[in-house]
Amino acid sequence: MPSTFLALQIGLSGLESALMGAETAGHNIANANTPGYAREVVDNETQASLVIYTDHETYLGQGVNARGQRRIDDTSLDQQFWDNNTQQAYWQSRSTELSQVAQIFNEPSGTTLRQSIEGFFNAWSQLAQTPADMGARAAAYEASMQVADAFRTTASELQQDYARYQAEEATAASQFNSLLSNLAAVNQQLIRLALQSASGSGGSGATNPSPPNDVLDQRDALLDQLSQYAKLSVTYHDDGSVDVGVYINANVTAFNNTAPIPVSMVTGGQVTGSVDGAIPANPSNKLNNTVSVQDLLDGSGQLKSLYDMAQYIQNAGASGVLDQVNALAQEFMEAVNNQFLQGYDLNGNMPATGLFDGTSASDIAVDPTYNPGALDLLAAAGPPSGGGPDQTDGTNAQAIANLMTNYDAVGAGLLGSGSVVTYNGIVTQLGTDGQAANEKNQTFKALTTQVTTLRESVRGVNINEEMANLIQYQQTYQAASRLIAVFNEMLNSLMAIV
Q: What is the pLDDT at residue 491?
A: 83
Q: Where are the alpha helices (DSSP H) in 200-254?
A: 213-226
Task: Please give the residue that has the higher pLDDT: either 408 or 227.
Answer: 227
Q: What is the pLDDT of residues 20-72, one digit of tens each?
A: 999 999 999 999 998 889 999 998 898 888 888 777 788 888 889 888 889 99
pLDDT of residue 78: 96
Q: Name residue 104's amino acid.
A: I
**Residue 374 pLDDT exceeds 90:** yes
The DSSP letter of residue 240 is: S
Please tell me the predicted confidence (pLDDT) of residue 181: 98
Say if residues 293 and 275 touch (Cβ distance below 8 Å): yes
**Residue 275's beta-bridge partner residues?**
291
Q: What is the dihedral of CA 70, 76, 82, 88, to 10 degrees?
A: -130
DSSP 3-state of 87: helix
DSSP E strand stretches across 127-248: 232-236, 242-248
Average pLDDT over residues 124-151: 96
pLDDT on residue 109: 61
Q: What is the mean pLDDT of residues 374-400?
A: 89
pTM of the model: 0.86
What pLDDT is stored for residue 251 in this prediction? 96
In percent, the amount of the chain with pLDDT more than 90 equals: 71
**Calpha distance 131→485 (Å, rounded):** 114
Q: What is the pLDDT of residues 412-431, one digit of tens each?
A: 445 444 444 678 888 889 99
Q: How far apart are CA 275 and CA 471, in angstroms?
A: 51
| Rounded distance between C-alpha atoms, residue 492 and residue 289, angstroms | 75
Whether pLDDT at 349 is above 90: yes
The average pLDDT across 145-150 equals: 96
| Residue percentage of the chain with pLDDT more than 70 | 91
pLDDT, the chain, mean: 90
The mean pLDDT of 271-289, rounded to a whole number, is 94
